[in-house]
Amino acid sequence: MTHFDDLPDLLTVKELQEFLRLGRNRTYELLKSRAIPSIRLGQKFLVPRQGVRDFLARTGESVATGTPVKGHA
């Protein structure tokens, strides 16, 4: 498993998918819904490392407070 600090500044979808241990479809859902910020270049998504950190922080807060994360009931 990769440590957060070892991630590149911009992640590919595949790198994000592997880091978050999510499937391809779920990863694209998160990107398209803007739950995880990304830069879109044509058909390609690039994800800033800080965006991943922010997503994880928001997700952790939602779990701690019992507030559903967007897209989850």
pLDDT tier for residue 71 given thresholds of 50, 70 and 90: low
Q: Can you give the pLDDT at residue 5?
A: 87
- 4-60 folds as Molybdopterin biosynthesis moea protein, domain 2 (3.90.105)
Q: Where are the domains of the chain?
A: 4-60
Task: Report how far apart the first and last C-alpha atoms of the chain are (Å, whole number).
Answer: 29
Q: What is the pTM of this model?
A: 0.77
Element at 40 (helix H, strand E)? strand 39-41
- As a whole number, the mean pLDDT across the chain is 85
CA separation for the pair 58, 1 (Å, rounded): 22
Q: Can you give the pLDDT at residue 73?
A: 46
